[in-house]
Amino acid sequence: MSCKVFFLSAALLFALISRSTTAKVQPPKLRLNLHFTQKIAKQSGTPLIDTACRGVGAHEKECFDTLRSAPPHQQADAGELAFFALKYVEDHAVNVTTIIKTIVGNFSDLAPMLQASLSECLDQYNPLDDLIEDAINELLAKSYEETKKFLMAAMTNIEVCDSQLKGSTAEEKAEKKSQLEIEWSQDLSNYNDYLKNLLAAAMNILQSD
């Protein structure tokens, strides 16, 4: 399982809890381009993972690492691998929500743009669990077109949050606000990209010939 994301969330939470004026969070400088055109029906094992993750963007390696951590029987079956990816995103979306709540709940002097962005992100992440759970239920029922609809809705929620964070980062830089607050936005944006990367992989798995 990809360690980089665990280290990212752990480091960020530590920074939030033990904040100081010299605290530095070092997020990976990654960008993600999503692609939904690959079709991998009837593929299995490593080729399945390869086609699921190949070309999703700068988090491609983390995608490979994450899906390769699935049990062998899930790696060899398209439906099982998509299920693994969705459960993984569902679990880690909770981490993102926790991070956002920790920032909002512990720091009352946040820059206004960041405060507004985090509030919007909470609005987008709160229903995310339900969207992914609905996608999982449709997947288990083999209703793949419905699964894709819920996947797209989940990705849209994450993208709305991400656009707010990136806008906040640009504003804070322009106004020379706290570097730590800028880095929080960047870290959360990178985590958003990672989760979108895995949802893109799940979408690729569900593509039909």
State the helix-helix crossing angle for 78-106 and 3-17, rounded to 10 degrees: 10
Fold classification of 3-10+38-206 is: Butyryl-CoA Dehydrogenase, subunit A; domain 3 (1.20.140)
* The residue type at 99: I
User: For the whole model, what pTM was predicted?
Assistant: 0.77
What's the pLDDT score for residue 39? 40
The greatest distance separating any two alpha carbons of the chain, rounded to the nearest whole angstrom, comes to 55
| pLDDT tens profile 22-53 | 343 333 333 333 333 334 334 444 789 998 99
Residue-level pLDDT at 12: 53
154, 192 in Cβ contact below 8 A? Answer: no
pLDDT band at 164 (very low <50, low <70, confident <90, very high): confident
Which pLDDT tens digit goes with each residue over 94-124? 888 888 888 888 877 888 888 888 999 999 9
How many helices (H) and strands (E) the chain has is answered by: 9, 0
Q: How many residues does the chain have?
A: 209
Q: In which residue are the tokens 């709940």 written?
A: 105
Mean pLDDT, the chain, rounded, equals 77
Domain ranges in the chain?
A: 3-10+38-206
Q: CB-based contacts of 100: which residues, under 8 Å, 6+ apart?
A: 118, 121, 122, 125, 188
Q: Give SS3 for 161.
A: helix
